[in-house]
Structures are given as structure tokens and as C-alpha cells.
């Protein structure tokens, strides 16, 4: 009997060529994508976007730039338009870069005790600041040893009251041949968000919300397959509106279901972690409605394209894993290789997460949030229209 059940299930899989192809092709594809993501978070593929703001522009800072440009973990972007620290902070807070390196004083200067290099990072990207600061310090120690020695000697000279002419001559020779150095040239500034909670909580509230929107929508949309197989859809198609009414009703349900789910997630974030939900209720509600509509539309389009429930289950699982992985619901996108960060913008997850980050962390205005809403709404409408087109064959079969 056991073998008979095994045989039946195996034959069903073989006869359903679509499900068979998905069951055999999609697993290795998922592996390749996840391998690229998770190897990039800790290996040589990790690339941080770093703004380079040189307010000094001398030979030493130029040498430091050349040294850091050779570091494959940093993607330096020179920003000549930034004239002060406030401009740089705005750049980092907006998420245009992961961190910023500001050269605000000559590298040899130790008079005022202020580090000449300042690394600015956002708390929502907690790992970026220390990593960039470490890379800068390493570049100075290995690429500019004369600078490190000069800074150390300047401190010693202040403590001793000066060097003699003979000591100066020896120190100059040592400075020219230096190969190692100390620290003190690099300072760090970490910017807190405006939402009350720590950056990780703000981020993963939105990330988990987008993940479960997709999961729940895919599960809810799968009921279309059962209704088609049981004949319910055939009876509904005889009524006014046809498949338009069926899909519109399901889209509305999936959107409202998503709104309820995300509400529960953010209520817990508000109660347990201090996320300022009710202080940003309007933008949050708009973002959630757009995100839920986008997830519902995608789920209906994928389901309408499938012929059997087994196909729908396989492709929906693949879609959720893929979109969530490259969209940032599992790992923050700034930890991914550059090509995956760019690819992530095709997913609703990336746009939804950035919208929630803008609301609860950066304090974006409605105008600044409008592009995220526009993209989510566009995904929702295009997906729903695709579902209508794909479901048109129901009336012809």
C-alpha cells in the first residue's frame, strides 16, 4: 500500500511537467542566489558604498584616497558638492551611501586632539561604520606609515617640550623609512534615527512585514486553483462581470488581510520596542496599503499563470524566497554584493522596506516617500492587470 501511494504521487509529478520542471530546476537556482547573498555578507564580495568628502585636498589625502580605492570592499564615491558635515549627514541618512569618510584636517595635525578623519554612519547600518573606520586605519598604517609616525612624534614632542636638532634629524630619517603606525587619526560618528527604536527593530519590522505579506498573499491566492478544479469558478463566470469580479474580490481581500497582518507586526513593535507607529500613522497606513496591494496583485498573477495547485505551490514558494532574499527581508541589502543590491530594486520588498525606513528612521516627508508609494502602486496595478489577462483563458476553456 505504501508503495502504491508512492507510485501514484510519483506519476502525478511526472505527468505535471510544469511542476516537475519547477521541482528540479528551482532548488539549484535558489541555492546559487542564497550562496551569492550570504557569502557576500562576510567575504570578499561585500562592498560598502562610501562617500569620500575631502575638505583638505592635499598630497596626504590624495595618497589615502588612492590606497582606499584599491580596497575591494569599499566603493568610494567622491562628493565634491558636500561643503560641511551637515551635508554629509544628510547623504548618509538618506541611504544614498552606507557610510562617509570626511577629511576635515591635515593628517599630521594633532594640536587640537580632534581626529582629522571622521567616519559617519547610520545606526541602521551598524556594521558599516566600524568596518569603514577599520579599513581607513589599516590604509593609513600600511599605506601612509610616515603620517602615523609623524602624528606619534608630534604627541611625544608636546609631552617632552621639543626635540634637539640631532633628534629631529634622526626622527626625519625614521619617518622616511617607517613601515608601521599607531592610531588616533580616525574618529567615528553614529547617527541615531528619529523613530524612537533602535535601527535594527525599525528595519526588521518593515522587512518581516513585507515577507509575510508575500507569504499570506500567495497562500490566499492559491484558493483560485481549488475553485477552478471544483467548478466554483465556472459557476461564478456565468454571473455578471466574469473573472474580473472574481479577481477583484480576491485582490481586495488579500489587501485587507495584509493590512491586518502588518498592523499586528507594528503594534508589537510599538508596544515592545518603542516604534513610533501612531506618530506616523498616515504615512504608515498608505505604505501598508500599497505594499499589501502589490503583494496581492503579484500572488494573483502567479496563481493565474499556473495550471495546477502543485505548480502554484512550487512557484509561489520560489517567488517568496527569491523576492524576500534579494529584496532585503532576510539580510539587509547593504551587506550584499553590488550587483545584488541593484537587482533588489525590482522587488516590492526593497521599495516597501525603504518606505518604512523613511517613515520610522529617517523621518522623510510625504514628498520624499511619494516615489516608494508610486512604485508599489505601479507593481500592484501591473500585476493585477496581468492576472486579469492570464485569467481570461478561464472564459475560453
CA distance linking residue 108 with residue 26, whole number of Å: 56
Question: Tell me: the pLDDT tens digits for 320-374?
Answer: 988 998 999 988 888 787 788 889 999 999 999 999 999 998 888 999 999 999 9
Q: Are strands 99-103 and 117-122 parallel, antiparallel or unpaired?
A: antiparallel
**Using CA atoms, how far apart are residues 313 and 333, in angstroms rounded to an integer?**
27
How confident is the model over 240-249, as a mean pLDDT? 74
What is the distance between the terminal CA atoms of the chain, rounded to a whole angstrom? 36
Nearest Cα residue to 79 out of 67, 71, 87, 69: 87
For Cα atoms 22, 26, 30, give the angle at the middle one, nearest 5 degrees: 160
Residue owning grid cell 513610533? 276
Average pLDDT over residues 100-108: 82
Percent of the chain having pLDDT more than 70? 69
Distances, alpha carbon 286 to alpha carbons 59, 168, 247, in Å: 51, 68, 22
Task: Enter the C-alpha cell of residue 4.
Answer: 502504491
The Cα–Cα gap between 277 and 24 comes to 43
pLDDT at 128 exceeding the cut of 80: yes
Looking at the domain covering 48-191, what would its CATH class be?
A: alpha beta
Mean pLDDT computed over 223-236: 66
Q: Which is it for the CA torsion 137, 141, 142, 148, positive or negative?
A: positive
Is residue 137 over pLDDT 80? yes
Q: Is the pLDDT of residue 183 over 50?
A: no
Radius of gyration from C-alpha coordinates of the chain: 28
d(CA 193, CA 202): 9
All three cell numbers of 133, joined, read 573606520
What percent of the chain lies above the pLDDT cut of 90? 26
Cβ–Cβ under 8 Å, residues 300 and 247 = yes
Looking at per-residue pLDDT, the higher value among 31 and 317 belongs to 317
Query: What does the pLDDT look like over 35-48, one tens digit per residue?
Result: 666 665 555 556 78
pLDDT of the residue at 312: 79
Which residues have C-beta within 8 Å of that of residue 158, sequence separation ≥ 6?
A: 110
pTM, to two decimals: 0.75
Instruction: Mean pLDDT check: name the lowest of 13-27, 54-68, 160-174, 274-288.
Output: 160-174
Q: Which of 182, 191, 97 is nearest to 138 (CA)?
A: 182
Per-residue pLDDT band for 179 (boundaries 50, 70, 90) equals: very low
Sequence-ordered list of residues with C-beta below 8 angstroms from that of 308, at least 6 positions apart, any chain = 16, 18, 19, 225
Q: What stretch of H or E contains 31?
A: helix 17-40
Q: Where are the domains of the chain?
A: 2-39+196-396, 48-191
Amino acid at each position: 500500500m505504501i508503495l502504491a501511494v508512492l507510485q501514484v504521487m510519483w506519476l502525478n509529478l511526472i505527468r505535471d511537467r510544469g511542476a516537475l520542471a519547477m521541482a528540479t530546476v528551482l532548488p539549484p537556482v535558489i541555492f546559487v542566489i542564497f550562496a551569492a547573498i550570504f557569502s557576500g555578507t562576510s567575504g570578499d564580495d561585500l562592498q560598502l558604498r562610501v562617500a569620500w568628502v575631502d575638505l583638505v585636498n592635499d598630497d596626504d589625502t590624495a595618497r589615502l584616497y588612492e590606497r582606499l580605492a584599491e580596497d575591494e570592499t569599499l566603493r568610494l564615491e567622491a562628493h565634491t558638492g558636500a561643503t560641511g558635515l551637515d551635508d554629509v549627514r544628510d547623504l548618509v541618512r538618506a541611504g544614498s551611501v552606507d557610510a562617509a569618510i570626511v577629511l576635515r584636517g591635515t593628517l599630521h595635525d594633532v594640536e587640537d586632539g580632534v581626529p582629522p578623519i571622521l567616519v559617519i554612519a547610520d545606526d541602521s547600518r551598524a556594521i558599516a561604520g566600524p568596518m569603514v573606520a577599520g579599513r581607513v586605519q589599516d590604509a593609513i598604517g600600511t599605506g601612509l606609515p610616515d603620517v602615523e609616525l609623524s602624528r606619534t612624534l608630534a604627541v611625544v614632542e608636546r609631552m617632552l617640550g621639543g626635540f634637539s636638532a640631532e633628534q629631529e634629524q634622526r626622527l626625519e630619517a625614521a619617518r622616511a623609512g617607517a613601515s608601521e603606525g599607531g592610531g588616533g587619526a580616525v574618529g567615528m560618528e553614529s547617527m541615531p534615527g528619529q523613530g524612537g527604536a533602535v535601527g535594527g527593530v525599525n528595519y526588521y519590522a518593515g522587512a518581516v512585514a513585507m515577507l509575510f505579506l508575500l507569504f499570506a498573499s500567495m497562500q490566499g491566492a492559491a484558493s483560485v486553483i481549488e475553485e477552478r478544479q471544483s467548478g466554483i469558478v465556472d459557476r461564478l463566470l456565468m454571473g455578471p462581470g466574469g473573472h474580473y469580479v472574481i479577481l477583484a474580490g480576491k485582490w481586495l481581500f488579500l489587501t485587507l488581510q495584509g493590512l491586518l497582518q502588518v498592523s499586528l507586526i507594528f503594534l508589537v513593535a510599538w508596544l515592545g520596542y518603542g516604534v513610533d507607529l501612531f506618530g506616523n500613522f498616515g504615512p504608515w497606513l498608505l505604505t501598508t496599503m500599497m505594499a499589501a496591494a502589490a503583494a496581492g496583485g503579484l500572488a494573483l498573477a502567479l496563481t493565474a499563470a499556473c495550471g495546477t495547485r502543485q505548480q502554484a505551490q512550487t512557484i509561489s514558494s520560489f517567488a517568496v524566497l527569491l523576492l524576500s532574499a534579494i529584496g532585503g527581508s532576510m539580510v539587509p541589502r547593504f551587506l550584499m554584493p553590488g550587483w545584488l543590491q541593484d537587482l533588489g530594486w525590482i522587488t516590492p520588498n526593497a521599495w516597501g522596506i525603504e518606505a518604512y525606513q523613511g517613515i520610522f528612521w529617517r523621518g522623510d516627508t510625504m514628498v520624499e516617500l511619494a516615489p516608494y508609494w508610486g512604485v508599489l502602486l505601479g507593481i500592484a496595478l501591473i500585476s493585477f492587470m496581468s492576472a486579469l489577462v492570464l485569467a481570461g483563458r478561464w472564459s475560453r476553456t
